[in-house]
A and B are shown apart, each in its own frame.
Chain A
């Protein structure tokens, strides 16, 4: 294996520009190292270790956004009091990631590019309308997170691009909730994940572990926008069928995922929407 240790973003981008072929950026390592002993093929890659890039670590507040750095960790957000006040779903999601050791190493940007359909951080970011800021030697590009994924583990990031920031617009939210259903109460991978927000920009309903990528649910958002009156959780099933396509896998079943998504969503939204 080959490990490159840039000290500046500039150097990192130079490494990623392809001089040594395709490289894999590594930040906290919390996804990569889990499989390190068994996925021997991964040892033949070239890695760019970003951990020294101090400039990417802090999160920043501006007048109209919270900006997470490319290396901002879950723990950084948990510790930031304003984040808890203004973006409570980020904190709720961060606390659901592994245990404290993982929360202290794992980064939001890493969660995005690892592109797991079961990611904990991505649904909350997407529900807040986050924008991914990509940088390369060719310049800067911004991609809204809800348009970032194009298929299972496919995304709008070229191999030479690095996520240097994630911009979360500050809005007034009239409703927000985060729910993760795992197979035990801590340190588990989501079988169903949900993040829902309502702001002046409208409803955003984001589902995890329900499709090849984390994605918004436009049919459900439409129902909510229209103020549809539902009588029970089964009324959500047709919209769920249009929005997502869960599978049977080693963790759960498609049937369970659909029903739990309907029940949890219904139960969470019941009072706000005036349902029974």
Chain B
């Protein structure tokens, strides 16, 4: 079928928040902290501006608690007396002219008496740098299985390694933006977001409004990648505060440099491995330490850490595992949700470490993985028994065959001997990604979804899950149409508007197709039951029954509903971090081939193969697109995307100096799926969205290691870093 919003996007007719018609409105602008930490002693308004023309908002204008509602309530909507990071929002201004608002924002001086800032998450803070709990630790988590110390003490071989990953900017094509206005007494906020109900809850909390007086609508969203999971709550609150004070619509849209400077990024990480093995490469013990830079507020760091440590041991069987993780406070712009959510960092370390182990043992890295990949019946680090029937070694073999791994390895030996300044290598990563919220998260979300019958026999899906380029509208249409045996044209996807749609949970965590799609199937079944049909009824029978129902119930509204139910037999112990971390895992093996120019130390990825088992593939075109997009984002994270920080704030906050891959930097990406339907996902689907960002970085660095004989342990592996290793 055709992508639902495809034509509008292709022809430029799709209207994003900045394109929406708006009359008699003001442009909002944010005045931000100049310092990483300190006490605000004055706010000075410049003399060159006629301030009577402006609406000005500070923390005193917040009707409710000055808190952005998230896991903790430590982050203010607007800083009051202290700032904790550069670019922290302190003041808001609004004016009918965007340029005047911009000039005014630059004419405000926030005077801060500096205090000692914590700027390196890898080193223990000095007493004067402590700002959270007793030790600046935002969250600490531990997974223990077996007796690691004993197993390491007896292991014939122990291999150690430390691995680092940098921050990454989302680079959604559409920057963050929000508009807010009043309709009578109802505050309406519309904008670019992944989670309308997160925004709704944050507005209710800080503005002291009940749900009848706030309404949140998602506008067509030009990319999210997690960057529009929690951050939109902040910009929505800012737009709302200005609109409430101005009693006029307010539009707040960041330009690229403000967006890159002030919003979240992927958590930087340091991961240490100490691994015990037999001489022939069987894993005996994995001792892993994970440290994340959380930045200046808690935001989502505890759950990013959680997913990070759960994935840290890789898709392998090992009897003795200890994973200790902590997220550290620092005076950096808070790090946040980003595709993969902690797993790319720990899987990079795990998979790079596997190749370091192989080289230490003088063993083929392929063989090391074949030997240790988890088999059905074996347990993960949290004690979850893997029993899904997927042959993970077969996934690996498929990737080796598609990439002609062995032939290429031989060819590279000849190539490298003959070439003066070029080196080629091939590398591999085997990995997995748990779909949906971790542990009891999905139960806690208690997602609810409705499907409405329409008088003409069509149906409308009412969900809070959004389209951001990944294909939700199309896949939801397919799922509903297939379940009822109707055509895609018989299905309407309702606008995500909290006044109309129930809370089916956030559009994150690779959960939309698998978890929410399954809710659509059950809600459709419920609807069918309500018109007196059973599950075998399909097509025009259903449409006619819906139309008849309306004829028989004038003024009535036909609605089917489903509420999340966990798959049977799932249990999770939040205290001990033991049990079934995810309902399902997707499994993958990625292969990268690189060419390194020894003169410039530039690495070019020249071929890429991505094989994965994601249950049933519902829409092959969109699924392939997700994988290819993830690989491109992974090429960038691995080789060139580097956030350069000063005082905890990004200083290369322009696309001229923060580089993402162009089409010329991207190799052909060959994608293959192994299908093994998951009984509790829509049509047998498992989550796919995040998986593809986990594998490229380690596969590419393993290829560079093979090409150059070095052991790169940090990304991005810029030419400058590789030169330090090859000199």
Give, as a whole number of angstroms, the nearest-CB distance from A192 to chain B.
8
Asked if B676 is at the interface of the complex by the 8 Å CB criterion, the answer is no
Q: Which residues of B contact A260 (CB under 8 A)?
A: 599-601, 719, 723
Q: Are A188 and B720 in contact (CB under 8 A)?
A: no
The reply to whether the CB of A63 lies closer than 8 angstroms to some CB of chain B is: no
User: Are B599 and A184 in contact (CB-based, < 8 A)?
Assistant: no
* Bound form: Cα–Cα A252–B420 in Å: 25
Flag whether B657 is at the interface (Cβ < 8 A). yes
A264–B99 Cα gap in the complex (Å)? 46
Given A37-B255, A264-B600, A256 and B656 contact (CB-CB distance below 8 Å)? no
Interface status of A156 (Cβ within 8 A of chain B): no
Query: How far is it, in angstroms, between the C-alpha of A189 and the C-alpha of B659 when the chains are bound?
Result: 10
Contacts of B718 in A (CB 8 A): 183
Q: Cβ of B257 < 8 Å from any Cβ of A?
A: yes
> What residues on A are CB-neighbors of B538 within 8 Å?
none
Do residues B662 and A184 form an inter-chain contact, with CB atoms below 8 A? yes
- What mask results when residues 593 to 617 of chain B are scored 1 for a CB within 8 Å of chain A, else 0? 0000011111010000000000000
List of A residues within 8 angstroms of B652 by Cβ = 250
A255 surroundings in chain B (CB, below 8 A): 723
B103 contacts the other chain (CB 8 A): yes
A188 contact set on B, CB distance < 8 A: 659
Interface flag for A172 (CB, 8 Å): no
Query: Is residue B529 contacting chain A, with contact meaning CB distance below 8 A?
Result: no
Interface mask (A233-259 → B, CB under 8 Å = 1, otherwise 0): 000000000000000001111011001
The answer to whether B644 has its CB under 8 Å from any CB of chain A is yes
**Is B147 interfacial (CB-CB < 8 Å)?**
no
A40 B106 Cβ-Cβ under 8 A = yes
Q: Are A186 and B656 touching (Cβ within 8 A)?
A: no
User: Once the chains bind, are B651 and A250 in contact (CB under 8 Å)?
Assistant: yes
Nearest chain A CB to B261's CB is how many angstroms away?
A: 11
Q: A260-B599, A264-B600, A267-B421 are in contact. Are A184 and B659 (CB under 8 A)?
A: yes
In the complex, A15 Cα to B100 Cα: how many Å? 29
Given the complex, which residues of A lie within 8 Å of B656, measured CB to CB?
34, 189
User: A2 in the interface, Cβ–Cβ < 8 Å?
Assistant: no
| B145 CB–A CB distance under 8 Å | no
Residues of chain A lying within 8 A (CB to CB) of residue B374 = none
Within 8 Å of chain A (Cβ to Cβ): is B565? no
Whether A181 sits at the interface, judged by CB under 8 Å, is yes
Enumerate chain B residues within 8 angstroms of A263, measured Cβ to Cβ: 421, 598-600
A112 to B720, CA, bound (A): 29
Complex contacts, A252 vs chain B, CB 8 Å:
720
Interface residues of B in 701-724 (CB under 8 A from A): 718-720, 723
B184 contacts chain A at the CB level, 8 A cutoff? no
Q: In the bound complex, do residue A40 and residue B103 qualify as a contact, i.e. CB atoms below 8 Å apart? A: yes
Residues of B82-119 whose CB lies within 8 A of A = 99, 102-103, 106
Q: Tell me how far the C-beta of B257 lies from the nearest C-beta in chain A, rounded to whole angstroms.
A: 6
Rounded to whole Å, the gap between the CB of A209 and the closest CB of chain B is 13
Q: Given A38-B255, A40-B99, A267-B421 in contact, is the A250-B662 Cβ separation under 8 Å?
A: no
Most buried by B among A37, A183, A187, A259: A183
The distance from the CB of B99 to the nearest CB of chain A, in whole angstroms, is: 7
The answer to the question of A185 belonging to the interface, with a C-beta cut-off of 8 Å to chain B, is yes
Enumerate chain A residues within 8 angstroms of B255, measured Cβ to Cβ. Answer: 37-38
Interface of A is mostly: loop
Please give me the residue from chain A that is nearest to B663 by CB atom.
Answer: A186
CB neighbours of B657 from chain A (8 A): 189, 250-251
Chain B nearest CB from A102 CB (Å) reads 12
Q: A179 to nearest B CB, angstroms? A: 9
Asked, given contacts A185-B604, A250-B651, A256-B723, whether A38 binds B257 with beta carbons under 8 Å apart, the answer is yes
Choice from A184, A187, A189, A256 contacting B640 with Cβ under 8 Å: A184
Beta-carbon nearest neighbor of B723 in chain A: A256
Contact among B640, B644, B664 for A186, CB-based, below 8 A: B664
Chain A residues whose CB sits within 8 angstroms of the CB of B644 once the complex forms: 250
Cα–Cα, bound, A186→B420 (Å): 24
Q: Is the CB of A183 within 8 A of B659?
A: yes
Kindly report which residue of chain A lies nearest to residue B602, judged by CB atoms. Answer: A181
Q: Are B600 and A185 interface neighbours, CB within 8 A?
A: no
The smallest beta-carbon distance between B634 and chain A, in angstroms, is 15
Which residue, A43, A255, A260, has most C-beta atoms of chain B within 10 A? A260
B665 within 8 A of A: yes
A30 to chain B, nearest CB (A): 12
Residue of A with least CB distance to B656:
A189
Chain A contacts for B604, CB-based, 8 A: 185
Other-chain contact of A183, B99, B257, B598, B719 (Cβ < 8 Å): B719
Cα–Cα distance between A187 and B661 once the two chains are bound (Å): 10
A47 to chain B, nearest CB (A): 16
What chain A residues lie within 8 Å of B600 (beta carbons)? Answer: 181, 260, 263-264
Query: How far, in angstroms, from A267 to B665 measured CA to CA in the complex?
Result: 23
How far apart are the CA atoms of A174 and B321 in the complex, in Å? 66
Report the nearest A residue to B658, measured CB to CB: A250
Which residue of chain A has the shortest Cβ distance to B655 in the bound complex?
A: A187
Within 8 A of B (CB), among A184-210: 184-189
Partner of A185, one of B99, B257, B420, B665: B665
CA A176 to CA B718, docked complex, whole Å: 29
From A253, which residue of chain B is reached at the shortest CB distance?
A: B720
Residues of chain B contacted by A184 (CB below 8 angstroms): 640, 659, 661-662, 664-665
CB distance from B641 to the nearest CB of A (A): 10
Q: Is the CB of A185 within 8 A of B106?
A: no
**Docked CA distance A210–B662 (Å):** 25
Measured CB to CB, the nearest residue on chain A to B636 is A184
Give bound CA distance, A250 to B665, whole Å: 21
**Residues of the A chain whose Cβ atoms lie less than 8 Å from the Cβ of B420:** 267
Residues of chain A lying within 8 A (CB to CB) of residue B665? 184-186
Give chain A nearest CB distance to B285 CB in angstroms: 40
Distance (whole angstroms) from the CB of A39 to the closest CB of chain B: 11
Closest-CB distance, A272 to chain B (whole angstroms): 15
A43 to B719, CA, bound (A): 38
Q: Are A186 and B599 in contact (CB under 8 A)?
A: no
- Counting chain A CB atoms within 10 Å of each CB, which of B102, B640, B651, B723 scores highest? B723
Q: A40-B102, A40-B106, A260-B600 are in contact. Are A185 and B664 (CB under 8 A)?
A: yes
Residues of chain B within 8 A of A251, CB atoms compared: 657
Q: Is A186's CB under 8 angstroms from B103's CB?
A: no
Docked pose: A181 CA to B644 CA in angstroms: 20
Are B662 and A185 interface neighbours, CB within 8 A? yes
Output the nearest chain B residue to A181 by Cβ-Cβ distance.
B600
The one of B106, B659, B720 in contact with A256, judged by C-beta atoms closer than 8 angstroms, is B720
In the A-B complex, the 7 residue pairs with the smallest Cβ-Cβ separation, listed nearest first, are: A263-B599, A185-B664, A186-B664, A186-B662, A256-B720, A250-B652, A184-B665
Point out residues on B near A: beta carbons under 8 Å.
99, 102-103, 106, 255, 257, 420-421, 598-602, 604, 640, 644, 651-652, 656-657, 659, 661-662, 664-665, 718-720, 723, 727
Q: Could you list 14 A-B pairs, sorted by A, with CB under 8 Å?
A: A38-B257, A40-B99, A40-B102, A43-B99, A183-B659, A184-B665, A185-B604, A186-B664, A189-B657, A250-B657, A252-B720, A255-B723, A260-B601, A267-B421
Given contacts A184-B659, A186-B662, A250-B651, 7 further A-B contacts (CB under 8 A): A40-B102, A184-B665, A186-B664, A188-B659, A256-B723, A259-B723, A264-B600
